[in-house]
Structure 1
């Protein structure tokens, strides 16, 4: 209720206001979409890593027959085979083997190589930098060549112009993209090494020794990424803001580089991030062809010699690198293009 009265001069009018029950303020429990996205991706990474570790733990059981006998050879004595089985924990039950493997893995113990007897982690720490360096150089070359190539081809062939150039580009890119890396590596060895002696065939002997392995890894990726960039640029060039930019008579480099290219790189960045993981996996065969001092040769040798502890560790290394790279790419895309990435996740 309220009370009104006529106040005398200099007095204050008193107004009574009806006060209802106090309602508690609502607490906004909505979590930031980016945080929810990061948590989902982190959970997915953890589950994927667990599946990878589980697969690596049971690799030794996928080989028919006695894996220890195959690794040591038919001439190994029964006592040596039994001792090795005990060292590997193969005389325990399967669940006990799994938990024992997890326990050693948590403490950073990857075991000893059955072939050399050396700790596996020492071999990996020594050779892994060479593998990563080769993959990163191939990745950098791919991006530096593919993006400008795709942009140039889009500008030259937009609106159906230069059909012969477009046909030649498409044909060459399909052919080069369909050649496996190891066949491309063999061809490069023959043409640039054996036939013409322009480049060293094997080993890590200065800058020249990087050329053929990098070409073998990156050539197919270059044509693939450039085709994606071309398609994205052609799509961007048809949008309204690009027509407005043309009406402003902007210089060509500003029109294409500053306006068209940044808006076309989201899909390219997604594929490029996945590409880096593929390049790391592709080093296995390329390193073997060029006798590159990395983990690729060790991986192939471990498989052929039934060195299961080494195979287990390298499966974890290669698989873990690919999973972590994909995870980082997802987070990067969420930062660069949050609306599209987080909405579609």
Structure 2
């Protein structure tokens, strides 16, 4: 009798979308979704290219002066401007830039006379290592912690825990990333001397940068998961499940978690993409040899091609990350695809 009631419960749980006659979801929602997303991705990349190209030259200073040095003559500076193509009309520079992108050419660094692609290929693995470990840490900590606090504080229970959780996560969510990273260095590298303060010479050097990159996203997602957990647990189908004395693990993991993940992943896509920008701050605090530190150096040197190339790569990775999150959401709950429900 209980198993039959559980089947009824599962068939009425939100997110259980089925296709015609109880079969699998038809391919048309995925096809429509793919077309919409392809158009969105192309538009986003096009805007990224345009904004990157026209905004970077607004950085104060003359790249030719930075290349020539402070003691260069006016004639030398002008010759460098000509060799770098900076005297060409802006629309000609843009056409050449876009043409290079179509062939995979991101240009050549003003400062190093090295291809931008080669610089990015050297630095990207360090940033990717930091970002991937940070994303894993964020998801492994934020969802379980937020869900646990939501379960323990549901219906006004344990008010002290709810208040403490809100104050602690709100504090670390609001504190700037460079402040948190600096605090980590002071406590664990200078005072306790248990972890290295900077560099990438060992695996232990990853610990502080990953934590510094992850604390704010962990707090943001955990707060949302806690709130959504409290809301989901008050739904009628979960109240009914608790009344049937279902095992807690099955109750929360089978019926509550899928609905929480939809909201959590929607927010996580935005936050985790933002972590790529946060890596710029963290890498400079911890002297991590990735794209974040390289772009600051390029800004100081007025190295336009390197700045543009790094922004393009980070922006493209953020777009891809959001796309992956949307696909995962579609697999968890097909209703997020925007197609009509067949159930």
Normalised to the residue count of structure 2, the TM-score between the two structures is 0.86
Q: Is the 8 A contact 1:303 1:311 kept in 2?
A: yes
Q: CA deviation at 1:267?
A: 0.7
2:111 is the alignment partner of 1:115: yes
Indicate how the Cα distance of structure 1 residues 234 and 65 shifts in structure 2: closer, same or farther if over 3 A, else same. Answer: closer
Runs of at least 5 residues in structure 2 that lack an aligned partner in the other structure: 1-26
Give the stretch that moved more between structures: 324-333 or 96-105: 324-333
Where in structure 2 are the equivalents of 1:1-345 lying within 5 Å?
32-63=28-59, 66-342=62-338
Mean CA deviation greater in 136-145 or 304-313:
304-313
- Are the structure 2 counterparts of residues 145 and 87 from structure 1 closer, same or farther at C-alpha, using a change threshold of 3 Å? same
CA distance change for structure 1 residues 87 and 44 in 2, over 3 Å: closer, same or farther? farther
Classify 1:61/1:296 alpha carbon distance in 2 versus 1 (closer, same or farther; 3 Å): closer
CA distance in 1, matches of 2:211, 2:264: 20
| Higher relative contact order, structure no. (Cα contacts within 8 Å, ≥ 6 residues apart) | 2
> Are the equivalent residues in 2 in contact too, given 1:149–1:226 (CA < 8 A)?
yes
Q: RMSD of the TM alignment (CA)?
A: 1.9
- Name the count of aligned residue pairs: 314
State the shift of 1:78 in Å.
4.0
User: Structure 1 residue 288: deviation in Å?
Assistant: 0.6
Contact 1:115 1:307 in 2 (8 A): yes
Structure 1: give runs of 5+ residues left out of the alignment.
1-30
Q: Contact 1:287/1:293 (CA < 8 Å) preserved in 2?
A: yes
After superposing the two structures, state which structure 1 stretch, 305-314 or 109-118, moved more.
Answer: 109-118
Retained in 1: the 8 A contact 2:29–2:337?
no
Counterparts of 1:307 and 1:285 in 2: how far apart (Å)? 19
**Structure having the higher Rg:** 1
Distance 2:176 2:84 in 1: 37
* 8 Å CA contact 1:34, 1:342 repeated in 2: no
Shift of 1:91: 2.5
